[in-house]
Structures are given as structure tokens and as C-alpha cells.
Amino acid sequence: MQTPSLDARQRKALVQRLTDILLRPRETWMQIDAEDGSPASIYRDYLVFLAAIPAVAGFIGYSLIGVGAFGISVRVPVVQGLVSMVVGYVLSLAMVYVLALIANMLAPRFAGHADMGSAFKLVAYASTAGMLGGVFSLLPSLAMLGLVAALYSVYLIYTGIPVLMKAPQEKAVGYTAALVVCGILAGLLVGLATSLVTPGARGLGGGVAGLGGADAVSVKLPGTDIQIDTSRLEQATRKMEQAQAQDDSQAALQAATEALGTALGGQGGAALTPQQLRGAIPERFAGLPRTSVEARSDSAMGMQFTHASAQYEQDGKEVEIQIQDIGAAPALRLTMAAWAQSTAESENADEVERIYRQGDVAVKETYRKDGSSAELALLLPNGVMVQAHGTLGIEALKRHLHALGQQVAGLRRAS
């Protein structure tokens, strides 16, 4: 497999885009939205290099290093490994375009704007974390860490949807969940197609069918509280195959939902009700009167998401508050908190952005140095994200939003 080469300027641009989309997704999505990037140029200058990482790493890990345990090492034959590398590389590039088509088709259902160019940019650049995570396949024992990296791609999709697909923020979680389901199904198809070409690799991770076996296996994702029951995932996949063979779309959808729930580590409890979130929204915030309020619950692919928002305005000052319950699905909660896994700070002449933890609360703040505007997000231990942005200074926003966060953190789910 051979990929095009880059000159020094192109390499610098590639590294810069990788860094920006991973560390500063909010600003980077706005830049991407303004770009007139065609799918052909994104494939040529970006995806062909990223997609090579998991393909080459997988070949080295499974064919040259091998899977070992208790002093026994098993390797995929080199010829089969090479074929698998090429097939996986090509199919992963094709899958980006297929998912872009799906993202474009889903847009109107979530009050977004259908635009194939924007949908392709969304999927292509959001796949950055997942493809970079493929480097863990160099050591098969660490390959599961690639799934953790892929979860950050889900967060990138979530942050990119409102910017590129013009969907309302409150629809972004449901839109993301629907696209994740399609991504899982597409991934299963890629694994199946690869295993058909290289059947000897199936037992080493070429497809979901090789995960289960007679005994149930529970895989705990490193650094998380998420456990994946591989036997349940295999059962759901077989149900999906049977339903598709019988042309039963309803049963296939139900099985896909089961597969998603298992792949995401199951459910974390019932979603909070709109009434619970609505009751937490104050009449006044930072001295400003509330001018509007909304609370709603939406379902997507068998998962429920609750959202509440409010506007406050007076004397030229305005603030918007959003409260989103993302804790009903542990992996989705993990992806929303992906930005909080490390401490970061960036600053320029006009703006400061910080990411840190304050006790058991993950905090992300962005503000203008002149005090004209600020944004603040808190991910609470109960899986609820509280956000605010407006024409207030960061200290005033922090003081009042942290007080609201303490109240919201006390909300409890139905057992």
C-alpha cells in the first residue's frame, strides 16, 4: 500500500489541523465550515494519510508482533495480513463517504440543513481521533485503547453538528447518537468484508463474531467504568444478521439498538425527566430576568435524551443556559467528558480557554479578556452537562453557574 507524499508546507498544515481539531474543536469547526474543501481534496491531503495509521499498525501488530498470552504467540500470516491491510484501508476510506451520506440524510430529521459538502467535512475531520487511535494496534494487547480514542471522535461529531449541519444544539445529542448507530453498523460491515478476504484473521479481531464464543467475556475499557459484554454484542449482531436475511427491518433496527447499547457499555439508568431539569432553572440568573424557557425529551435509536434551556436578558446583557442529561449512556457521558481527561490552557491577545477539573466536576471555560463575553461548561458527576454563554465576564458567569451546578448535581435518576 502506498500513499501520496507531502511537501514541508503540506506536512505542517496536516499536523496543524490534527492538533487543532483534537485540542480546539469549537474554533476549528468554525474554520472548517468557512473552508471550501471538496471531498477529493480532503481525501488527497488528509484522509489517505490518517487511514493508513490503523491499517499499517494493524498489520504490524497482528502479523509481525502477534497476539500473545501465557507464553504463546499467534500471528496472522504475512500475506493475509497484507491483504487485510489493503482491504481495511480502502474500506475505511469508503466508509467515511458512506457515513457522510447518512449524516446528510439525517440532517432534516434533526432540524439541520442538508449539505453533502458539510456532511463530508464533519465525518472526515471527526474521524481524526479514531484513526489516530489505530496506532494502538501496534501492540494488540493495547488495541482496546483505540476504542477509547474512537469515543473522542463521537465528541467531535457532537461539537461539529451545530456548526456544519446547522442543527440546534438541543438536537445535537440525538443526531450524534443516530450517526453513531450507523457508524457501528458500517464498522461491522468493514470487519465482515475484511474477514471474508482474510478468514484467518477473524479470531484475532477481524470481526465481531470472533469476540464471544461459549463463555461470556466482559472487557473493561482502561481508565473508565465502562464494561463491554462481548457475548451480548455477538448475540445482538447475530440477531441483526438474521433480521436482515428475513428482510425484517423492524427487528433489524431493534437488534441494532441492542448492539449499540452493548457497544456503549449499557445504560447508566433512566434519563432525568424534563420536569426535573425545568425545575432547576432559576427565574433570575446573574441578576438578569428569565425571558424564555424550554424543556424537552427526545428519543433516538432507543436512547432518550433530556434537555432544558433558558434565555436571560436585560439592559443589553444576555445569557443563555443549557442543561443536558447525557448520563443515561455511560460511553456517551465519557465522550462528552473527553475534553476533561487532561488539563489544558491556550491564550492569545484577545481570548483565553482553559480545561481543568474542580473536585469531581470537569470544567471548560472560554472568555474574552475585555470581559465582553464568556462561555462555561460543567460536566457534573451525575452525568449532566450545564453550559452558559453570554455577555458577562467569566468570574460572574462562574460564580452563578457553579451555584446552579450544585443544585443540578443533586438530581437523581429513577432506578
Task: Give the pLDDT score at 306.
Answer: 83
Q: Write the CB contacts of 5 (distance below 8 Å, at least 6 apart in sequence).
A: none
In this structure, whether the domain defined by 274-408 belongs to CATH 3.40.50 is answered with no
Each residue of 21-50: b (16+ CB within 10 Å) or e? bbebbeebbeebeeeebebeebbebbbebb
CB 337 within 8 A of CB 308: no
Q: What is the pLDDT of residues 233-266, one digit of tens each?
A: 556 556 655 665 666 656 655 555 555 555 444 4
Written as tens digits, the pLDDT of the chain (415 aa) is 544 556 677 778 888 888 889 888 888 999 999 998 788 888 888 888 888 888 888 777 766 666 554 444 566 666 666 666 777 777 788 888 888 888 998 898 888 999 999 999 999 999 998 888 888 777 766 666 666 677 788 889 999 999 999 999 888 888 888 888 777 766 665 555 555 444 444 333 333 333 334 344 444 433 344 444 545 555 655 665 566 566 665 665 555 555 555 544 444 557 788 999 999 999 999 999 999 999 988 665 445 678 899 999 999 999 999 998 876 655 455 545 455 555 678 888 899 988 888 888 888 899 999 999 999 989 888 888 899 999 999 999 999 999 999 999 998 877 6
- Whole-angstrom Cα distance, residue 22 to residue 24? 6
Question: Cell 442538508 appears where?
Answer: 114
Cβ 322 vs Cβ 281: under 8 Å: no
Q: What's the pLDDT at 219?
A: 41
Average pLDDT, the chain: 75
Contact 334, 226 (CB under 8 A): yes
Q: Sheet containing 303-314: which strands, arranged edge to edge?
A: 284-285, 288-300, 303-314, 317-325, 384-390, 374-379, 361-368, 351-358, 344-347
List phi, psi (to 5°) of 303: -110, 145
pLDDT of residue 303: 56
pLDDT at 182: 74
Q: What is the pLDDT of residue 53?
A: 85
* From-to residues of CATH 3.40.1000 in the chain: 274-408
Using only the alpha carbons of the chain, give its radius of gyration. 22
